[in-house]
Structure 1
């Protein structure tokens, strides 16, 4: 799994001119799934994100997690995180997971993250044309790949 985690002051996802989900302070997470991903990847990534200390403490040092600040999360499926761009200028998506494999893992990630942070997680809609708005706070943007756990 690949995730781009952005610390935000607010974020939303709109589908067909209608806001599907919106959050205040927390994380906007773009999540990509490949066919090799498993529930072990979901569990590792959820734990890592829930405990990621990138929110400022009383001294302005990035030392607090989303749990500490009681932040919110918005998760948007993002197959383009698996773009292959080695040949030519038009990326291919052959490394992205199939819908049959990716949707259950995406849903498990959202459910497990919700359990981990103790509040509902906002979502986009798998496969939809979405408009994502955010105000990146910092800016702080972290990229994680469960194939690079070290």
Structure 2
């Protein structure tokens, strides 16, 4: 291998087979913001529904319906529990590597317990839906400041099972 400059190796030509072995799966992501006010759930579900279809999740499928229910529950939780601290919520829809991730972020630093007996009905529903699809529900502190990110991960079933 010849060195270009001081530190970078010269790019080697690879065979198509070798190059394909390292191809990463395509990840598609869309993040949008909804105001924390009446109508936020409907607005979030509508935009998420459009992106799910665009990203290859069949409309009216079990996975699509579960994901939209999760969007609704998580945005409703922001309305119920964080409206005084978070004027907006960020909703993310990510599809890639055999997973669908629905994320909702707000500016309320309180982290709900998603595994204890005190889990509310909404988060319990979200946890059950993600588990049914082989996924998980997690809550992480926001790395950029006060707040949290609630992440619902689903394993995407084979096309026949969608």
Normalising by structure 1, we get a TM-score of 0.27
| Larger-Rg structure | 2
Higher strand share: 1
Q: Which has the higher contact order (CA 8 A, sep 6+)?
A: 1
